[in-house]
Structure 1
Amino acid sequence: MSKKKAPKDTAASLRGVADVNEARTWLKARGIEELECVVPDQAGVARGKIMPVSKFFNAPAMNLPSSIFHQTISGEYPDDDVPGAGDPADADLVLVPDFSTLAVVPWASDPTAQLIHDCFSRRGEPVEVAPRQLLRRVIDLYAKKGWNAVVAPEIEFYLVKPNTDPDYPLEPPIGRSGRPETGRVSYSISAVNEFDDLFEDIYDFSEAQGLAIDTLIHEEGAAQMEINLRHGDPLALADQVFMFKRTIREAALAHNIYATFMAKPIANEPGSAMHIHQSVWDEKGRNIFSGEDGEPTEAFFHFIAGQQKYLPKVMCILAPYVNSYRRLTKAATAPINVAWGYDNRTTGIRVPPAGSAARRVENRIPSSDANPYLALAASLACGYLGLIEAEKPTAPVEGSAHGLDYALPRGLLEAVSAFEECDELGALLGPTFTSTYAALKRGEYETFMRVISPWEREYLLLNV
């Protein structure tokens, strides 16, 4: 589609309305003709329907088949006899719009808006396997204790040349200088400037959708970038990551570039992460990680202990694909452990330097290919269990943690087994989600095993 920038709105009206009546006014004021009714699936991919605005308001309840939450990334389904494989009848789900997510689609050729929906059964029950509902489930656990979780994600991604043949490795794109990057240029302003036109579009598209970028930096890899988001409510931030990924891909395509959130897209380059900053606040708006004297509280250490104990059990969510584990090796800069430290980027759990009001815990383990709804739900669930169980963490690590042993699963199947065997997380996230998600990941692994890699042809073809 050709690019068409949205008209400038006032800050208060950029995104979201309260109800269907405000939605009618909002859409009419912008001359919106089409509406994308979107549901994030297990991979964080946008599913749904596109329809004229008039049909959206006049049609009966919107439906999608339940199978949208039981499909692997390759479009297949687990075997019917596998627990969690899905509804054999593939019954309809009822889609309910969340009008707070209403936003324009600034790259569309015709005036178009998007609206994220939640899924319910015909009896009005939330669909447990829907990622957005799972995150709500975890947020509600905090709320019942009088807590509000606050998060700030950081998303890394690569820009690469268009690649239509999966047998060929990915390469950095050509910037305005006419040359691709060849060396490490972390935090380089000039390297970001190579793609000024692209990033201007990303900022324009984000502004039109009411998405708040905090900072944009060049990361360690060739044409690897990172966008940091402002802290806030977990569901709202998951929505933003979901929309940002789509925005960045669309903006890149308009410049004949691919944007990829693969965890390890290029063999000799660093992997891409989705770091999650987390804190917990009470009903009076106080950070429970800090006491009145400004010192860290027991709750702060309990939260870290929960991360240490349970993050290895949710790795199949935080690192959801076979490729994800290529990032988590001793040869890379990504963490392979659940050690923690103050301002220590070699640990899986980092406490950034900040004042007492901003004291937080950064989970550096998730990869950028993770579904933001599931990753936030899983990470916060680990911290919640730590708060409930009131255990103590290990001593903080000073200096490099790269020499420590592996404390995370080395592969997808190992991670899935650890997830299924954790009763505490199973009870918290629900047995339906647990069995469904495990079945999907095993199905994806079986699909991967059908593929013969270049390594196998290189070293086995004539040597064994």
Structure 2
Amino acid sequence: MSDWLTSIPDAAKSYLEGRRLDEVECIISDLPGIARGKAVPASKFARQTQFFLPNSIFFQTITGGWGEAAGEDGFTEPDMILKPDLETTTAAPWTGDWTLQVIHDATDQDGVPIPMAPRNVLKRVVELYRAEGWEPVVAPEMEFFLVARNLNPANSIEPMMGRSGRPAAARQAYSMSAVDEYGPVIDDIYDFAEAQGFEIDGITQEGGAGQVEINLRHGDPVKLADEIFYFKRLIREAALRHDCFATFMAKPIEGEPGSAMHIHHSITDIATGQNIFSAADGGETSAFLHFIAGLQNHLPSVIALLAPYVNSYRRYVKDHAAPINLEWGRDNRTTGIRVPISDAASRRVENRLAGMDCNPYLGIAASLACGYLGLKQAKDPTAMFKGDAYDGVEDIPRGLFSALDLFNEASDLHDILHPDFARVYGIVKAAEYDEFLQVISPWEREHLLLNV
């Protein structure tokens, strides 16, 4: 066994036990959360300590276009240095040979972290917490749809066919029979996750047709973001084995609920290990309220990260399982900010605004950044909301263009995430929006062609 293989996680060692490693996928997340990188023979990976990719991967839109975000030096595409984080080594169990994946961190040629790299953005936010003596803890929830194969973008997305021979049914939340309809896909998800060393806290049927939720156990934000980054690929691969697609679009099917990435937050004091949201007597602390206030005051400015595409805003529909405002409440799923039932040690705050289409590194970083500002500014939240928050006023931008305006003006958040990241993200998303505006939709053809 090569020296580097002695440093990888136990799950990866177990996967390779008695087998010969063929290939290593060296990967990094781009702005949308797509895995970019290179696949190399295992023997070559054992000899290399780094590899190179052009920094232009962070200027690319979801369509493959480019934002003019290269900066003063122009679009010269200098190489970044990518170094492996061996703690992220995990299996790629769907491949035909014995393959491992390793997430890499990006620096410039002087060793300075690339500010546009999403993993670096999250690491920067986590370090700000640690500098205050705090350890942020998150627990993400992942919602997605299993749908029929869609080979023509002009066709509507349809629910997948279940084992009964009928399409997956909607409005069957928490139904065990509904989950059984696509049991073979779920079985492969479990098997792939086990091979990769990931612990699933639970799988449930959500309210949409073929909509599934996977909960992950709480932990370190960077580690959990790595897992979601890996999980998206894992789930897609499991679906493809069974002649269907897995989609993480925020709103893939008209009339069905959207898919969220709810983020639960708590913070421990590094010195004592105690949850700073709870006092010695078990009551709520001022830090708990300040964190909520930070989400209320600053989430509008990061909606462009939590809802990064034009489709994302179709999810924010009144009475349709997604928040439309920034009210907070206890055990109230109509509010954008929810305080779940818990004991004092696990007191936490749930951000329900993030869509599953967001980059997990950026979504978690944005949410933590808002909470961090709340803790530093020490403001109080509004009064706790009681009742149905859908009856309240909408506080969320109605579209990507408005959300980008708010993000581009949020200099306090730019300082936390990194000003150069904020500059590049704004330019790339604006370019993406311009690309969208070039497409004429079926609605326009149906209602405008002969009527205007």
Instruction: Report the TM-score, using the length of structure 2 for normalisation.
Output: 0.96
Q: Which residue pairs with 2:5 in the alignment?
A: none
Give the 3-state SS of the residue equivalent to 2:137 in structure 1: strand
Alignment map for 1:352-431 (pairs within 5 Å)? 352-431=340-419
Q: Which residue pairs with 1:341 in the alignment?
A: 329
Q: Which residue pairs with 1:21 in the alignment?
A: none
Give the 3-state SS of the residue equivalent to 2:391 in structure 1: coil
Q: Give me the whole-angstrom Cα distance separating, in 2, the residues matched to 1:303 and 1:285.
A: 18
TM superposition shift of 1:29: 5.7
Contact 1:15 1:101 in 2 (8 A): no
Alignment map for 1:5-16 (pairs within 5 Å)? 13-15=10-12
- 1:56 aligns to 2:53 (yes or no): no
Contact 1:67 1:86 in 2 (8 A): no
Q: Which residue pairs with 1:39 in the alignment?
A: 28
Contact 1:337 1:404 in 2 (8 A): yes
Q: Which amino acid aligns with 1:288?
A: I
Cα gap change, 1:99/1:83 in structure 2, threshold over 3 Å: closer, same or farther? closer
Give the 3-state SS of the residue equivalent to 2:390 in structure 1: coil
- 197, 204, 213: which one pairs with 2:200? 213
**Per-residue Cα deviation, 1:56-85 (whole angstroms, up to 9, x for no partner):** 122463100100111000011113xx5769
Give the 3-state SS of the residue equivalent to 2:262 in structure 1: strand
Q: Which residue pairs with 2:176 in the alignment?
A: 189
Aligned residue-pair number = 444
**Per-residue Cα deviation, 1:369-396 (whole angstroms, up to 9, x for no partner):** 0000000000000000000000000011
**Per-residue Cα deviation, 1:21-44 (whole angstroms, up to 9, x for no partner):** xxxx99686421100001011011
Alignment map for 1:310-321 (pairs within 5 Å)? 310-321=298-309
Q: RMSD of aligned C-alpha atoms?
A: 1.7
Q: Which residue pairs with 2:448 in the alignment?
A: 460
Q: Give me the whole-angstrom Cα distance separating, in 2, the residues matched to 1:276 and 1:205.
A: 23
Contact 1:272 1:368 in 2 (8 A): yes
Where structure 2 has 5 or more consecutive residues not aligned to the other structure, the ranges are: 1-7
- 1:109 aligns to 2:106 (yes or no): no
Q: Give me the whole-angstrom Cα distance separating, in 2, the residues matched to 1:448 and 1:288.
A: 44
- 1:328 aligns to 2:325 (yes or no): no
- 1:148 aligns to 2:135 (yes or no): yes
Q: Which residue pairs with 1:170 in the alignment?
A: 157
Give the 3-state SS of the residue equivalent to 1:402 in structure 2: helix
Where structure 1 has 5 or more consecutive residues not aligned to the other structure, the ranges are: 1-10, 17-24
Give the 3-state SS of the residue equivalent to 2:83 in structure 1: strand
Q: Which residue pairs with 2:3 in the alignment?
A: none
TM superposition shift of 1:422: 1.1
Cα gap change, 1:455/1:333 in structure 2, threshold over 3 Å: closer, same or farther? same
**Per-residue Cα deviation, 1:233-271 (whole angstroms, up to 9, x for no partner):** 000000000111110000000101100000000111001
Cα gap change, 1:43/1:85 in structure 2, threshold over 3 Å: closer, same or farther? farther
Q: Which residue pairs with 1:69 in the alignment?
A: 58
- 180, 184, 188: which one pairs with 1:201? 188
Quick one: percent identity of the two aligned structures? 53
Give the 3-state SS of the residue equivalent to 1:14 in structure 2: helix
Instruction: Name which of structure 1's ranges 232-241 and 85-94 shifts more when overlaid on structure 2.
Output: 85-94
Cα gap change, 1:277/1:208 in structure 2, threshold over 3 Å: closer, same or farther? same
Q: Give me the whole-angstrom Cα distance separating, in 1, the residues matched to 2:18 and 2:297.
A: 51
**Per-residue Cα deviation, 1:114-141 (whole angstroms, up to 9, x for no partner):** 0000001010000011000000000000
Q: Which residue pairs with 1:19 in the alignment?
A: none
Cα gap change, 1:459/1:356 in structure 2, threshold over 3 Å: closer, same or farther? same
Contact 1:86 1:436 in 2 (8 A): no
Instruction: Report the TM-score, using the length of structure 1 for normalisation.
Output: 0.93
Q: Which amino acid aligns with 1:416?
A: L
Cα gap change, 1:155/1:86 in structure 2, threshold over 3 Å: closer, same or farther? farther
Q: Give me the whole-angstrom Cα distance separating, in 1, the residues matched to 2:418 and 2:188.
A: 41
